[in-house]
Amino acid sequence: MLQYTIRRLLLIIPTMFFVALITFGLTRAAPGSPFDRNENRPLPQATIDRLNRLYGIDRPVTEQFALFLGNALRFDFGSSLVKDRQVTDIIGQGLPVTAQLGVQALILSLAISLPLGVISALKQNSMVDYGSLFFATVGYTIPPFVIAIVLIFIFAVDLRLLPIVGWGDIKHMILPTVVLALGPAAFITRITRASMLEAIRQDYVRTARSKGLREQVVIVSHVMKNAMIPVATIIGPATAGLITGSFIIETLFSVPGIGRLYVLSINQSDYPVIMATTLLYAFFIMVANISVDIVYGILDPRIKLAH
Radius of gyration over alpha carbons of the chain, in Å? Answer: 24
Whether residues 9 and 127 share a domain: the answer is no
pLDDT at 189: 92
Whether residues 50 and 148 share a domain: the answer is no
Whether residues 177 and 225 share a domain: the answer is yes
Whether residues 160 and 196 share a domain: the answer is yes
Domain boundary among 14, 39, 72: 72
> Ranked by mean pLDDT, which of 28-42, 122-136, 214-228 comes out on top?
122-136
Instruction: Give the count of beta carbons closer than 10 Å to the beta carbon of residue 141.
Output: 10
What confidence tens digit (pLDDT) does each residue in 47-60 have?
878 887 887 888 88
Q: Tell whether the model's pLDDT for residue 125 goes beyond 80.
A: yes
Whether residues 61 and 100 share a domain: the answer is no
Phi (first) and psi of residue 33, to 5 degrees: -135, 170
- Span 269-290, average pLDDT: 87
Q: Kindly list the distances between the CA atom of residue 141 and the CA atoms of 12, 39, 146, 259, in Å, as whole numbers in the listed order.
A: 33, 38, 10, 22
Q: Using CB atoms within 10 A of its CB, is residue 99 exposed (0-12), middle (13-18) or buried (19+)? A: middle
pLDDT at 231: 82
pTM above 0.75, yes or no: yes
pLDDT at 259: 86
Residue 104, Cα to own-chain centre: how many angstroms? 13
Average model confidence (pLDDT) across the chain? 84
pLDDT band at residue 99 using 50, 70 and 90 as cut-offs = confident
pLDDT band at residue 17 using 50, 70 and 90 as cut-offs = very high
Whether residues 261 and 290 share a domain: the answer is yes
% of the chain exceeding 90 in pLDDT: 24
pLDDT at 89: 92
Strand partners for 86: 79
For 25-39, 145-159, 268-282, which range has the lowest pLDDT when averaged over its residues? 25-39
Residue 80, in any domain of the structure: no
Q: Which domain holds residue 111?
A: 92-299
155: domain CATH number is: 1.10.3720.10
Whether residues 50 and 104 share a domain: the answer is no
pLDDT at 244: 65
Find out whether 245 and 259 touch, Cβ atoms under 8 Å. yes
Instruction: Give the count of beta carbons closer than 10 Å to the beta carbon of residue 167.
Output: 17
Q: Tell whether the model's pLDDT for residue 119 goes beyond 80.
A: yes
Q: Tell whether the model's pLDDT for residue 294 goes beyond 80.
A: no
pLDDT at 302: 60
The total number of structural domains in the chain stands at: 2
pLDDT at 120: 92
Phi (first) and psi of residue 290, to 5 degrees: -65, -40
pLDDT band at residue 65 using 50, 70 and 90 as cut-offs = very high
Find out whether 299 and 232 touch, Cβ atoms under 8 Å. yes
Q: Tell whether the model's pLDDT for residue 307 goes beyond 60.
A: no
Whether residues 61 and 141 share a domain: the answer is no
